[in-house]
Amino acid sequence: MYIMVVSKLDFGEIMQACKASYKPFEGTVEMTRKPASLVDSIAAAKKDGRRPVIAEIKPASPTAGAIRTVGDPAEIAKEYAGAGACGVSVLTEPKYFGGSLANLQSAAGISVPVLRKDFLFDLSQVKESYYYGADTLLLISSFFSADSLAAMIAECRRYGMEPLVEVHDRDDVERSASAGATLYAVNNRDRHTLKVDLRRTRDLAPAIDGTVVSASGVSTVDQLKFVLSYSDAALVGTALMRAERPGSALQNLIW
């Protein structure tokens, strides 16, 4: 008798799909733009009494399905910046998150750093991110060896970007540290079950030497205060994208 295991969608499967549909970026890039620093922007927010929040443009997700139709990403990005965001994160993964490089390009160039959020794995995607206006990008630590992560980080720095390295457990933290990461995202969402637990920030942040962003699952001021008592900034997506007015919802969180 065979028992059939129905596979659940997890980060590994999303990455596999991204690799399968990958087309290497072949554009030419002149390195004339100096990306803005997310770390500096987090520090500036703290200094003038804003809760440091990176606000995300996320049209859909594997757990929530369709979240919001993003007509004009530039408009939302400006709203976020105007509300006091210390950064704007833009999903570019199309299949599961409804994102695009066009969204990134349209949101880029605002007054705060813009983060490219995707399942990246290839060195050429660093250049691509720079080309489309990103100030920095997300690297999910568990998909890399220490060596390949170090190579990605070095490539980011060549473009003047300090990548946000996502960690889920202590192994990730160790591997990322030995690869030289300085800016970390603790994802409160489990990469296998996709369930959120904010206590992950509490448990993992003390093991990290660097700037820590707590990502996922924050929707109330109390939750934000909880994660910020262990981290330097929080990354909020769904709660803002679901709000009637994302900018006002963000303002209520920040001040």
Ligand X SMILES: O=P(O)(O)OC[C@@H](O)[C@@H](O)c1c[nH]c2ccccc12
Give the span between the Cα atoms of 255 and 253, in whole angstroms: 6
Between CA 92 and CA 10, with CA 205 as vertex, the angle to 5 degrees is 40
Q: Residue written as tokens 């030995």?
A: 178
Residue 217 in the binding site for ligand X (CB under 6 A): yes
Q: In the bound complex, what is the minimum distance in angstroms from residue 31's beta carbon to ligand X? A: 27
Give the span between the Cα atoms of 37 and 14, in whole angstroms: 28
Residue range at the interface with ligand X (CB under 6 A); choices 101-109, 128-136, 147-155, 216-224 = 216-224
Residue 201 in the binding site for ligand X (CB under 6 A): no
Q: In the bound complex, what is the minimum distance in angstroms from residue 110's beta carbon to ligand X? A: 19
Q: In the bound complex, what is the minimum distance in angstroms from residue 71's beta carbon to ligand X? A: 19
Residue range at the interface with ligand X (CB under 6 A); choices 1-9, 37-45, 200-208, 209-217 = 209-217
Interface positions, 71-100, toward ligand X (CB under 6 A): none
Give the span between the Cα atoms of 69 and 72, in whole angstroms: 9
Yes or no: say if 138 and 120 are a contact pair by the CB < 8 Å rule: yes
Strand partners, 215: 187, 235
Residue 56 in the binding site for ligand X (CB under 6 A): yes
Yes or no: say if 121 and 15 are a contact pair by the CB < 8 Å rule: yes
Interface positions, 235-254, toward ligand X (CB under 6 A): 235-239
Q: In the bound complex, what is the minimum distance in angstroms from residue 59's beta carbon to ligand X? A: 11
Residue range at the interface with ligand X (CB under 6 A); choices 1-9, 70-78, 150-158, 233-241 = 233-241
Nearest residue to ligand X, by Cβ distance, number only: 237
- Backbone φ, ψ for residue 169 (5° rounding): -155, 180
Question: How far is C-alpha 106 from the chain's CA centre?
Answer: 17
Give the binding site for ligand X (CB under 6 A).
56, 58, 117, 166, 187, 215-218, 235-239
